[in-house]
Amino acid sequence: MTEEQLPYKFSFSITYKEYKSLTLAHSKNQLIFIGVFIFVVFIATTWIKSSNFDVMLSKAPIGIILSLVLTFFMWLLTLYKSRRAFETSGILKSEQTLTLSEDGIQMAIETNDSLIPWNEVAKVSESKDLFIIYLTKNQGVLIPRSAVEMARIRPILRSFLDSSKLRIK
């Protein structure tokens, strides 16, 4: 790590679009599971009720449509919850300043200032819109990709974190 790379300081605010992409990415498996589960329950109850394979096959399209419609409503509910969580969270929308240094990640939000040592980072992943620095399974720091220089942040993360913790390109 060269001295000109550290400390790396940048500021940003999270947009709803970025937060929504994170919420949908985290809910993707749950939405798929719900759709498949509803379809399987529909087919199982149809089979138990009629015990006729032809009847079950003729009603399968109804099960597919029903599971797709209910999954679509769950997707809408996820978007609604995401919007409400974003709108009611002052911290998410506020200006954040992060400084990456040898000591860790210095995070400043309005009047709060905290240091996250590198050894407390559980995982770092990258999506289309965000870098997500996970501290626990469900808690982390969101960094918009538009707020950082890719050529600068990736080497810093690679130098301070085990490759097993990195899910970046």
The rounded Cα 132 to chain-centroid distance in angstroms is: 8
The pLDDT assigned to 85 comes to: 93
Distance (Å, rounded) from C-alpha 43 to C-alpha 27?
25
Q: Say how many Å lie between the first and final Cα of the chain, rounded.
A: 19
- Average pLDDT per consecutive 10 residues, the chain (169 residues; last block may be shorter): 74 92 90 92 81 75 90 96 92 89 91 90 91 89 91 91 89
The pTM (predicted TM-score) of the whole model is 0.77
